[in-house]
Amino acid sequence: MSRADIQVSDDCVAPAEAFSIVGNETRLSILEALFEHSERPVRFSELRKTVGLRDSAQFNYHLDKLTPQFVVRTDAGYDLRTAGERVVQAVLSGSFNEHPYVEPFTLSDPCTNCGTPLSVRYEDEQLAISCEDCGRGHGTYTFPPGGLSDRSRSELLRAFDQRVRHRHCLAADGVCPVCSGRMETTIVPEGDCCLGVGLRAEHSCANCNHELCSAIGLRLLDQSDVVSFYADHGIDCSSTPYWRFDWCVSDDCTTVVQRDPWRIEVALSAAEQTLLVELDGSLAVQQTERVDSAKR
């Protein structure tokens, strides 16, 4: 679908105006009250009671300001539009007003390069897993402050692992995890990145310019042949943190077969077997083959 096919509604407002609308404590309270209601739409009187504003006229004024951009009015009451939900979710994520600090800690998981226990750091909404001995990075990715609340270290790492998996797999499938715009994948053969790898995949959104980078192998975490291969060796890919797989954090297991067009082979080993996975330049799997590791 081209932009010419998309019709802009008459009630669309400029971004600056939209932000000014929600830049009010009462209006944010209205959005949060609607968000927290288990059953919507919500009647005017019930919504005002939840917000705690006695002046009916003043409450109605602020509610009208939120309609129709953030709140929709129906015969049954008021409900949130997607934009209203996104505002509340952004507030709850803590990205706008929270700047938490987490004391660095050590993992029991070993570095995929030297075997030293990995270190975890969190600052500027970025969680980084790396080896302090050899310097290998095992991923530095965004994690909103709201995700830190009421979680132990193990719960935090589990949530981080799942977030990294889903965001990168979505990006590799061509969908921006931020705005759902078109995501383009580019193979970069060299240069610096947080992983310290040369060969890597870079994903860029044509709509919001959001960018992600990763080792080539990270794309394979939910690939059916890969999941089956590890399951046959007693390893559950879905519950094993990505940083335990060397092919997810480095290019040690990756071989460039051809550059124009790209043909890339990733070798995944378990016990005495190796699964060879061939990818194209968009990270689509072209073929897989199981071989005895001794014969490689």
- Domains of the chain listed by start with CATH number: 10-93 (1.10.10.10), 102-214 (no CATH), 218-295 (no CATH)
The pLDDT score that the predictor gives to residue 120 is 97
Structure-token pair, residue 209: 């310019």
Residues in the chain: 296
What span, in angstroms and rounded, lies between the C-alpha atoms of 33 and 49?
A: 10
**144 has which bridge partners?**
none
The pLDDT score that the predictor gives to residue 10 is 52
The pLDDT score that the predictor gives to residue 128 is 94
What span, in angstroms and rounded, lies between the C-alpha atoms of 266 and 215?
A: 11
Distance of CA 156 to the CA centre of its chain: 14
CA angle 34, 36, 39 (to 5 degrees): 75
296 residues of the chain, pLDDT tens digit each: 444 444 444 555 666 777 778 778 888 889 889 988 888 899 999 999 888 888 888 889 999 999 988 899 999 999 998 888 888 777 766 555 556 778 999 999 999 999 999 999 998 889 999 999 999 999 999 898 888 878 899 999 999 999 999 999 899 999 999 888 999 999 998 766 666 677 999 999 998 888 999 899 999 999 999 999 999 999 999 999 999 999 999 999 999 999 999 999 999 999 999 999 999 999 999 999 999 977 66
